[in-house]
Structure 1
Amino acid sequence: MSERDLQPKGPSSAGTWCCLGGGHVYTEADRELAEAIGHSFPVVPSAARASHAFLERVVDHTARAGIEQFLDLGTGLPVEPNTHEVAQAIEKNTRVVYVDNDPTVIEHARALMAIGSPEGAVDYVDGDVRDVQKTLDEARRTLDLDRPVTVLMLSMLGHIENPAEASEIAQRYMRAMAPGSYLATCDSYDSPDMRAAAAAYAAGGGPPIYLRTAAQLEPAGAGLEFLAPVGPISLWHPTEPDPEPVDQWGFVARKPLLPTDGSTEIDHPVI
């Protein structure tokens, strides 16, 4: 990795989101911005916490469905439990690849490589998730893409201004995945409260966050089987009764299985 500033002067997206979500890896600038945003716009820390809770539920659900490989794109700074901790608690042989291009995130990802289950594997890719081919080539060091993978793109495609471009990136990853793979994605929903928060965040020195509507989120899952409608992620397989909707919307979808009887029709199992 080339030398890069591990202590940026201003707030970082990864550090601010980590602080908002209850993590512990952030700078003073991140904390100050997170506290200011959270005080004025409680919708944001609610969304950040919901995003991590969604990750935990998705990893748990797909691991129990038999997935033993995870590609965590735009992973951000760690908020425990991490992807590999949830997955390897269910199946110790699980293999996880984290991908990010934030230098601080990569330093923490390196540390995670020594923490995972000795039977499984934890690896990282230092790169931009928009460079799909390079990311996939490096992920193949650890993952067998001929077998199903859960692809996580949580609270990260909203850094891409054009929603069509964001959806196409997700589609390119899923085209490379084996049948039976899953895609989980979410981003901040285009609500009045989130619009005000995003403007304040940018004014405070944070990078632009581009909000999404349901219609802009759905194309990322084109051709996949949605496990639940696009909507507030707090309502997807909740672990608590009567959860409150949050302005963080997304979905989980599965790549259809190939037929096993020689027909040309695609099998659509109920999950």
Structure 2
Amino acid sequence: MSLENRVIGFIGAGNMAYGLIKGMVSVKPGAEILIYDTDAERANFVRDTLRVNPLNSIGEVIENCDIVFIAVKPYSVESVLEVSAQALNGFKNSRDFPMFISMAGGVKVDFMEEVFNRTLKNIFPIKIFRIMPNINSLVGKGVSAVCYNNYVSDEDIKIATEILETSSKVLVIEEKYFDAVTALSGSGPAYVFLIAEGLIEAGVKLGLPRNAAKTLSLQTLLGSAVLLNAPEFSKSSTKDLKDMVTSPGGTTAYGLAKLEEGRIKYVLDSAVNAAYLRAKGLL
């Protein structure tokens, strides 16, 4: 069954859900997408902006969709799954159950299985994916880590990947790495935004108009990322590319020396490690 023949539902319509839906309606305009959010104003905004259909309850999403995204805050996942399981109790055949894809940070697959198993009248195989997207999905340049439980088939993986690839690059990876993924790519855009902020402010201090400083800084970051990922430079290390810009005793060499003096790699490592420990619940 192709994606165009599936009904896709979202429980929660925040920024991450918005990015995924935006990608789907842009790349797969034939896909039918239904949403539910406790904030009716938000649901109506997404409806009007992306031309999707809002529903009135979690139960309606479960009853009408083949694939259900759990796009709520981590603390809301348990109650959402309990309500979802109650709706599943009304199904005549477990083969009609939707596939669930959770994007809630820190919520493990086995926890979701446990909630379903204690809420369903009988224990049934529930297909569950856990993903960690990032906010860059809003512009179709995200990255999504994916793992899943034992009930997921190759066809299910293909469908989930097809959905996610409308807004991001997909990396299938073991769940044990998800805290590290969260710290690196989940939180990573904020680190880059802070670096951009610093570059812009530095340009302004040197007398550049703010708009000029912003254009120069953002295009430099964007172009550098594209260059790092370009096929013709696939065999070049980050050091190789850095050396291409750096002349002995030149301006770049002096700038890099100051960054090394400030231990920029250590600072970045500390930031990612702090986010990792927080993701594991140790901070």
- TM class by shorter chain equals 0.3 to 0.5
When normalised by structure 1's length, the TM-score is 0.38
More helix, by proportion: 2
Higher relative contact order (CA 8 A, sep 6+): 1
Question: Rg larger in 1 or in 2?
Answer: 2
